[in-house]
Structure 1
């Protein structure tokens, strides 16, 4: 079985992208794939979208995090991006993670819990950089707008294929250079051969140039962003 190349665009603040990213790591254990981790900022994607001022404020707080990833790539290479995604994403989306706790804020407070989480990121990112073995000074990239050009360049790397699709969101995945696909969006992390079977099905669609969209008729489940202890 030949090895497949997976380009995976992510924003670490998105719980759905995090679940899919942990799935693709499970796939790597049972199928021959190589993963390239690439930045995709939800703040950049939503620059021209209509949204409430409250939500836009929160999305913009995430832009600085992606600047840190761009700086990490420049300083330490592609592998550092994947390592930082794991150390930071675990702090965001783990069982007692920052964003997991924000979901416990009563819904009548609107986006208050999410905003509080985003405003508390600096020490969280600093700790994630340390765990990934990256220089602490990379944290300064959060407020350095010169890194935005690198983020835009990462967006531009998504293959569009014959359909010339517009970017939708994260996760976006390209398999062997084929058109980028938004998703799969899954509500929990498949493991073992279950992860492998999902990959086999996804690969067929992701490499079919005429494929455009597939959605299930169902309510969206709450994201389960971590594996429970056996």
Structure 2
């Protein structure tokens, strides 16, 4: 959902977005808690495979293409409720999403290419160095490399705003991230609405 919001704002503002990766599969590789079931880990690994493809797209194409891949994958899983299809056959699911989004089927081989893991691991570590060790995804960094660089985990959005509302939320999050606010948190109030 966050990728749709970022893409919406990017189009309104003509921002250049540098898509980076954070892998929940890597983040939880040492997790032994009861809640982290084999099915949960398998879901994270499917996401990791999607990141391998995203890294290949970044290396072959550009950041805009990465944003398109993130959006296509997120919409397939969340908006179109294709999780069962993804669980049943990761390869067929990823191939279908690549095709539907207009990407070469050749990227499918990258889903199992461990050579991408070094990049993904380094970017996961970079994200955590910016936002802290006790966070997940997404992590947004505003003004990277500048004196007032700021990063936040989130926002976790129940329903992604569109148009002017998307820009207003972006401005608010950027202001908080670059103004010294360390944390702002509450539990989820509404069930996710991916429409």
TM-score when normalising by structure 1 = 0.71
Q: Which has the higher strand share?
A: 1
Higher helix share: 2
Q: C-alpha distance in 2, partners of 1:213/1:179?
A: 12
Q: Looking at both structures, which has the greater relative contact order when contacts are Cα pairs under 8 Å and sequence separation is at least 6?
A: 1
CA distance in 2, matches of 1:68, 1:29: 23
Q: TM-score, normalised by structure 2?
A: 0.82
Corresponding residue pairs, total? 188
* Stretch of structure 1 that moved more, 193-202 or 128-137: 128-137
Unaligned runs of 5+ in 1: 1-18, 103-115
Matched, 1:182 2:166: no
Distance in 2 of aligned mates of 1:167 and 1:138: 32
Gaps of 5+ in 2: none
* Alpha-carbon shift at residue 80 of structure 1 (Å): 2.1
Q: What is residue 3 of structure 1 aligned with on the other side?
A: none
| Paired residue secondary structure (1:62) | helix
Separation in structure 2 between the aligned mates of residue 168 and residue 136 of structure 1, nearest angstrom: 33
Is 1:38 the counterpart of 2:5 in the alignment?
A: no
- In the alignment, the residues of structure 2 paired with residue 79 and residue 31 of structure 1 have an alpha-carbon distance, to the nearest angstrom, of 14
Instruction: Give distance in 2, aligned partners of 1:194 and 1:58.
Output: 31
Deviation by residue 1:59-90 (Cα, 9 ceiling, x = unmatched):
23432222122222222233321121222222
* Residue of 112, 120, 123 corresponding to 1:143: 112
